[in-house]
Amino acid sequence: MKVLACDGIHDDGLALFRDAGWEVVVSDPIKDPAALARALDGVDAVLVRSATPVTAEAIADATKLRVIGRAGAGVDTIDVDAATARGIAVMNAPDGNTLAAAEHAISLLFALARHIPKADAGMKAGQWPKAGLTGFELEGKRLGVIGLGRIGATVARKALGIGMEVAAYDPFLPPAAAAKGSVPLKTLDELLAWADIVTLHVPRTKETTNLLSEARMRAMKPGGYVVNAARGGLVDEAALLKLLDEGHLAGAALDTFVTEPLQADSPLRAHPKLILTPHLGASTSEAQQAVSTILARQILDFIDTGAVAGCVNLPPLTAEAAREVGPWMPLMSALGRLAARLVPAPTRLHVTYAGRTDALDTRPLTRLLVASLLGTASGRITPVNALAEAAGRGLTVAETLGGDGDGFDRLLRIRVEGEGRSREIEATLHRGPRVVRLDGVEIEFDPLAN
């Protein structure tokens, strides 16, 4: 097995791959899709941070690639749709840099409040720049947190600790969950009108791009501040400059940008009311060590046992659940191939898990069955893209849990239809993997041997 590590992945994570017998190839960031495509030849997993974009072009011919790993949280530099279509799992490690990202946001609050960058620059220029650098205290100020996930919640907790009033906007957080904490929820419009400082902690998606538009920033209090240490593109950069020039906003601090690295001639660099840092949110030694080891363990477990954690295009599967379904996996692959021989152009698949199925997570089994059924025809199909491929080919997939096991502890019943035909396979792991009925006729053979 071979892993390509770009963007300065911490060696503690790479050591886990080496200990598992993997070949580890370390690379500087690869910006060019064609160059990345060449580098991915023969690679089973690729690890990136934010510097290497993983595009559809880059992975189009990556026939061995099974996992794209993001050492951190944001996956906006990875074409997840293209990876899913290719059957490639996309994993991230959002928990590893939570504290680092939250602390960086808090540090930007202090830098804005006390003009620390200007004071430092003036001192180093031989000045004693007290005039014009009177700041303000954070205690008692209102902080509006957009996004109350792991990082946003940590920022809120730390802001409360220094005496700030905190409220949040998060459309995905149930009010009951927010009520259990000490941070009240508001609508976005309410939050913008209420806050002295707004800090963003959401991923960049179609819905959140330019979330802070000119109109929304105008809805903020005159003299308000903006902090974005989440993802570039959440704030309309041109509108931000305009409102800073007009004086409606008093200042802003940005750690992330629409284009990274930020262009040398960007007008953001020259604005006196802006504090800029080069995407340092996760740049602590502790965070980089944590995300690299978390990601490595996730990938190794996924490859070795089928356990799924931190995957953005597959449902989670605990290690315990993976051990439970593991013995069924070879059988499902074999049954998919058998079903494809019986009905080469299927239009409907119904899978029944009969008998004692309460502890069985059937999602990976059904996905694997579909991948095996369709994969005999064409293309690269894996459990990652199996259901999407089925929908695209007009194959309806249905699943039933429970029912009579007909004397077996667990019985798998597969009905596949197409071209006017309907075939049924019944199989079990009792006394080894075996088909016990075909179209209702008792029969016994090992499908793995055929």
Under a CB-based contact definition with an 8 Å cutoff, are residues 423 and 416 in contact?
yes
Q: Is 260 tagged catalytic?
A: yes
Q: How far apart are CA 198 and CA 342, in angstroms?
A: 61
Under a CB-based contact definition with an 8 Å cutoff, are residues 129 and 122 in contact?
yes
Picking from 70, 22, 78, 79, the residue whose alpha carbon sits closest to that of residue 47 is 70
The sheet with strand 165-169 has its strands ordered as 165-169, 142-146, 197-200, 224-228, 249-254, 274-276
Under a CB-based contact definition with an 8 Å cutoff, are residues 94 and 310 in contact?
yes
Residue type, 446: D
Under a CB-based contact definition with an 8 Å cutoff, are residues 279 and 7 in contact?
no
- Which of 49, 279, 413, 415 is catalytic? The answer is 279
- 3-class DSSP string for 89-145: EEEECCCCCHHHHHHHHHHHHHHHHHCHHHHHHHHHCCCCCCCCCCCCCCCCCEEEE
Peptide bond into 315 cis (omega under 30): no
Count CB-CB contacts under 10 A for residue 75: 22
Please name the residues in contact with 317: beta carbons below 8 A apart, sequence gap of 6 or more.
306, 307, 308, 309, 325, 361, 363, 364
Picking from 40, 16, 15, the residue whose alpha carbon sits closest to that of residue 27 is 40
DSSP symbol at 208: T
Q: Is 137 tagged catalytic?
A: no
Residue 445: which H helix or E strand, with range? strand 441-445
Give the SS3 label for residue 275.
strand
Report residue 259 as tokens: 């284009």
Handedness of CA 60, 64, 65, 66 (dihedral sign): positive
Under a CB-based contact definition with an 8 Å cutoff, are residues 215 and 244 in contact?
no
Judge residue 442's burial from the number of C-beta atoms within 10 Å of its C-beta, 0-12 exposed, 13-18 middle, 19 or more buried. exposed
Picking from 148, 151, 53, the residue whose alpha carbon sits closest to that of residue 96 is 151
Please name the residues in contact with 381: beta carbons below 8 A apart, sequence gap of 6 or more.
87, 370, 371, 374, 375, 389
- Which of 137, 260, 320, 419 is catalytic? The answer is 260
Please name the residues in contact with 382: beta carbons below 8 A apart, sequence gap of 6 or more.
66, 87, 88, 371
- Which of 104, 115, 231, 434 is catalytic? The answer is 231
Catalytic residues: 231, 260, 279
